[in-house]
Structure 1
């Protein structure tokens, strides 16, 4: 048991639950994921995908919309991914 406040719980859950479900569901939608060539870290990502693959559609929606801190974590993550994309995109 962890003793915490509702706000502290929601702040951590926005990352721990919200971000992991978001990433796993995004990877799930990219599927099928490769299984012939893989790495230990990719296998762990695939495990995360398997954990949420059969969630009803409302689960991710509830996690992302019911937690008041989820949108901030999601926006920060997407901004960081966008920055990485710009940093490594091939010049046009």
Structure 2
């Protein structure tokens, strides 16, 4: 990985960490990986920024799948779509409570 890419990836991961924290999630930065822990501490997820096969920076779930846009599952999020990424993460780490 090129040095400027490593610095760029770290900057995106730091940006995501801060955006998650502002959204009320516990987020910790580990290089190019962000560990997000839900406020209730029941669920967590690791999100990683890395280049795809074409060299474009993308976000990946811990199971290796690139993260797609919530309303358009065919569109993979770019590294700078942090607000949409935080929304997707919140859907994964938040348990919806059903009201009776």
TM-score class, shorter-chain normalisation, is 0.3 to 0.5
User: Greater RCO between the two (CA within 8 Å, min separation 6)?
Assistant: 1
Q: TM-score, normalised by structure 2?
A: 0.32
Q: Which has the larger share of strand? A: 2
Task: Identify the structure with the greater helix proportion.
Answer: 1
Compute the TM-score of the two structures, normalised by the length of structure 1. Answer: 0.35
Highest CA radius of gyration, 1 or 2? Answer: 1
